[in-house]
Structure 1
């Protein structure tokens, strides 16, 4: 995966050097990410998720920052703004100006007058560091189709710390509702679950996802009418088990899946919900033993 990501970086730089990218979703270049991923033996979904996890930013944001870094030289040199906008894949000076300001914090005219401020995005280069000082407690399991039932809500994605929108969603449930849900659990992952689905492939902070507080049941089980349902296809899952401060231990495990586990194992993420099962916890949830379930397929 490290080699694949560096190949992607090289193609982005080549595209920028040609100044011939076409503006796509979120201002991406004309590179066909899906086709590239296929040629590299992976999937666009996995490539984007691994990039965002390892780089600390979505692929689309990196491309926009690199594009505006290169375009800034033309702006400072006094070239026509419309020509610059077209060369870098924007249909108008207004669209280019918005993207430029989002990266540099100032519009092209301001930068042209004063020479700044400019915020440069260096070219990323991925390297795998082998430490060997720790191991990850994992298992691979094949599961038939199942359903996740519970109370769902659309919430924004937050990378670090507790998500207050999720906390508010759970706290709004009646006290006895948690016991009722737990009694409905009949399939792995067992117990009350924290489910995230419909996540943006780039894992951009602030984008919306579906969060479900519920349990797993068999596909033949009819869910009560007042509960939401997420149907999950049959497939392979990797399960990571960890203990420690919560939610820091969970977030550290998420990061380690991208930086350590996936680069070292012949598996890749496939679309589907991620599931957290709390096996044991302190009364105030300050510490916990958890399982993180991720849908995978052979790379």
Structure 2
């Protein structure tokens, strides 16, 4: 799978439709993965969120239209998807630092967000320790939190902090079975096509793996059971101090490993496994692998 081509095709689609509705379903179709997975990939490759990139591209073109003066500001606002001149003016000022009406009156400095394009480059040379496994179906017991996707990095740490304070983590410790995926799990769920504004973040532990020697553990009161199908997973070692160790793994995976691997993302949650002594693993489901390998 040519991830670079898919990324650039999505960039072309976005730029061709900045004055129209940009369909998340169409982005997912072009990228050959769910919009949720594409948003994760894009954020690590581009170092900005997909929604922010689209907004900034629109405001870049809108600035040229405002400068030309051929259209009323309200018409420019509607052209780029804003319901009112006030909403457009606020967004314009947040990006450019000035109101569009000011641009019409006097010369000012404006910002520009150029169209992105991607290419593979050879960087770093640092190893990423991983293994690819065909893992059986499994179940976890835990608590789900509905959060805004674009605030995930801000909200997830507070979810863990609250769980330690309100006794949730102690419940996990009391009930803790020694099954893999191991440790305390942070599971990011949001794969439905077109539904990208919100996601579920699940704190959990594995309660059953679908193999004969594994006995299912009853779900504790106050928790939910979540089931995941048998799938192929790339399991990446993310040992080190948090949160940098895990964030570096995602950066390398999406920018270096995935584009060169020939695999594609499966529409399943992404899991982080937190164990003792700064030992972590990241589990990402993949498809169409022809060779199992361990580096």
Q: Secondary structure at the match of 1:159?
A: helix
Higher relative contact order (CA closer than 8 Å, sequence separation 6+): 2
> Of 140, 145, 170, which residue of structure 1 is paired with 2:137?
145
- Counterparts of 1:192-271 in structure 2, within 5 Å, are 192-198=184-190, 209-218=200-209, 221-271=217-267
Question: Gapped runs of 5+ residues in structure 1?
Answer: 24-28, 282-287
Aligned to 1:6: 8
Aligned to 2:288: 298
In the aligned structure 2, how far is the partner of 1:43 from the partner of 1:200? 7
Greater mean deviation of Cα atoms: 54-63 or 150-159: 150-159
Aligned to 1:179: 173
The alpha carbon displacement at 1:190 in A equals 2.3
- Flag the 1:212–1:130 CA change in 2: closer, same or farther, 3 A: same
In the aligned structure 2, how far is the partner of 1:51 from the partner of 1:128? 14
**CA-to-aligned-CA distance 1:166-214 (integer Å, 9 cap, x gap):** 22222321775343132x34x3212332333338999x9x966423143
TM-score for both structures, normalised by structure 1: 0.78
In the aligned structure 2, how far is the partner of 1:211 from the partner of 1:155? 11
Q: Secondary structure at the match of 1:84?
A: helix
Aligned 8 A contact 2:136 2:229 in 1: yes
Q: Secondary structure at the match of 1:150?
A: strand
Aligned to 2:85: 93
* 1:136 matches 2:128: yes
**CA-to-aligned-CA distance 1:200-253 (integer Å, 9 cap, x gap):** 999x9x966423143342476541332222222332211001322222111111
The alpha carbon displacement at 1:121 in A equals 1.1
Aligned to 2:53: 62
The alpha carbon displacement at 1:47 in A equals 3.2
- Flag the 1:119–1:169 CA change in 2: closer, same or farther, 3 A: farther
In the aligned structure 2, how far is the partner of 1:230 from the partner of 1:176? 20
Aligned to 1:164: 158
Aligned 8 A contact 1:192 1:278 in 2: yes
* 1:278 matches 2:284: no
TM-score for both structures, normalised by structure 2: 0.79
In the aligned structure 2, how far is the partner of 1:170 from the partner of 1:124? 41
In the aligned structure 1, how far is the partner of 2:29 from the partner of 2:7? 13
In the aligned structure 2, how far is the partner of 1:9 from the partner of 1:15? 10
In the aligned structure 1, how far is the partner of 2:230 from the partner of 2:24? 27
The alpha carbon displacement at 1:43 in A equals 4.8
Calculate the aligned-residue CA RMSD, in Å.
Answer: 3.3
- Flag the 1:40–1:258 CA change in 2: closer, same or farther, 3 A: closer
* 1:289 matches 2:279: yes
Q: Secondary structure at the match of 1:296?
A: strand
- Flag the 1:104–1:296 CA change in 2: closer, same or farther, 3 A: same
